Amino acid sequence: MSASTESGVVEAVGKELFIGGKWVAAESGKTFPVVDPATGKELCHVADASPADGVAALDAAVAAQADFAKMAPRERGEILRRAYELLMKRQDELALLMTLEMGKPLAESKGEIAYAAEFFRWFAEEAVRIDGGYATAPNGSGRFLITKQPVGPTLLITPWNFPMAMGTRKIGPAIAAGCTSVLKPAAQTPLSMLALAGILAEAGLPEGVLNVVTTSDSGGVMEPLIRDGRARKLSFTGSTGVGRKLLEQCADKILRTSMELGGNAPFLVFDDADMDAAVEGAMQAKMRNIGEACTAANRFYVQRGVVEEFARRLTERMRALPMGRGTEKDVVVGPLIDEKAVEKVTELVKDATDRGAKVLTGGSGVDGPGHFYQATVLTDVPQEARLTHEEIFGPVAPITPFDTEEEAVAKANDTEFGLVSYVFTSDLKRALRVSEALEAGMIGLNQGIVSNPAAPFGGIKQSGLGREGGSVGIDEFLETKYIAVAL
């Protein structure tokens, strides 16, 4: 990839705040850098919003809400459909932009653009399917009319690890439902959302419906908006710790919330599993996004009779993965997002090995520029190791043997999180028993990827509240109104 091509896609993106349909500088004139995690070099600077800029964005969303709520559902859907087509048309450029700011291999970035676009196509179709009801009162004296209306202006906060898809997963249903919004992307990866703001404007989205504020002071900018009272919903994807603080803030004005928080996904392999499928599923569940995903397999529990074979085959696959900058040909393992991420993974692996875990491959960072960590497989990982209780968010696969189905389920459920679990078995009855017993909002049964725009995404316990995607995703942005009619 030539330097001129890379600089071209970065230069094409607006670097200011997108408020009221216009690109505006931050009130203070300040900016902050966006850094390529593979090289440590700055890509560009973007506007650094202040709390006053955030209020201006909310002002624009509030001003646009009434008219946008009245827009015909078909028209809202057509805007999303046009945006879907523009995303797919510019898939290559947008994928390169994502790889430069986030680090994931180019092939994965292209996959994410397609995945992100699909949320717009899905919710374009859901916009015209917002339904209600008509019923006779049980005593026959009246009628019930049920209608659904937009919840109102919304606040959207997206993470750095899926910088385009996590935006479209929130923006899509908000637009389909008739809600305006203020979106704050992660400071590490703001360029994808700035590019998307331009695309939606080109697709005909009215001014003020989507406002994007980039900032290095997330809490300082967003907390006043949460406590303002005019926004009526917050949708957040990120860590459980931050989500907990946001829920406390939302309680002040009783905001509707959607929270997609942390994960600690168990990956169960029973001795009757198709080993080819299990290893392939493990590679997908572990190495998607370099392991930096809330859905990433975090703990591998493998039945003792097949644990050696599984560990050997997984090690062979992990050891063979090419590492490098995501723009390089055939690279699978790109950089982690920053040096703090490398330090965390290093600490977790050291803690496990200090407690007796064995390193089959990898096990350390990489010297030189960028934030790289080797693809790693650990065996004999004790249950008390930190990486069985904390999100790794890196390319590390810790394997622990188990003997019985009951033991596997107990270990899998021994966590405060409940986002996704993976199960590999050829026994249908066991598959159903275990799937029902696992405490998770999603189950990958003999497959390593669960994300799909047409399916409800979300967790239980401390992995979050609500669902995104599927036929229920739009309901998170709608209020149900009951009208009593006397006869």
Q: Which residues are annotated as catalytic? A: 260, 294
Q: Can you tell me the distance from the alpha carbon of 431 to that of 421, in angstroms, rounded to the nearest whole number?
A: 12
State whether residue 266 is helix, strand or coil. Answer: strand
Evaluate whether 258 touches 281 at the Cβ level (below 8 Å).
no
Q: Can you tell me the distance from the alpha carbon of 358 to that of 225, in angstroms, rounded to the nearest whole number?
A: 48
Evaluate whether 203 touches 79 at the Cβ level (below 8 Å).
yes
Evaluate whether 243 touches 218 at the Cβ level (below 8 Å).
no
E-only strand ranges, 161-264: 181-184, 210-212, 233-237, 256-260
358: Cβ contacts below 8 Å, ≥ 6 apart? 378, 379, 380
SS (H, E, C) 70-128: HCCHHHHHHHHHHHHHHHHHCHHHHHHHHHHHHCCCHHHHHHHHHHHHHHHHHHHHHHH
Residue 329 burial (10 A CB sphere; 0-12, 13-18, 19+): exposed
> What does the DSSP 8-state code read for residue 288?
G
Q: Can you tell me the distance from the alpha carbon of 320 to that of 332, in angstroms, rounded to the nearest whole number?
A: 10
State whether residue 432 is helix, strand or coil. Answer: helix
Dihedral sign for Cα 367, 368, 372, 376, please.
negative
Q: Which amino acid, 85?
A: E
CA angle 378, 383, 387 (to 5 degrees): 55
Evaluate whether 233 touches 86 at the Cβ level (below 8 Å).
no
Helices (H) and strands (E) in the chain, counts: 14, 22
Q: Can you tell me the distance from the alpha carbon of 470 to that of 129, in angstroms, rounded to the nearest whole number?
A: 12
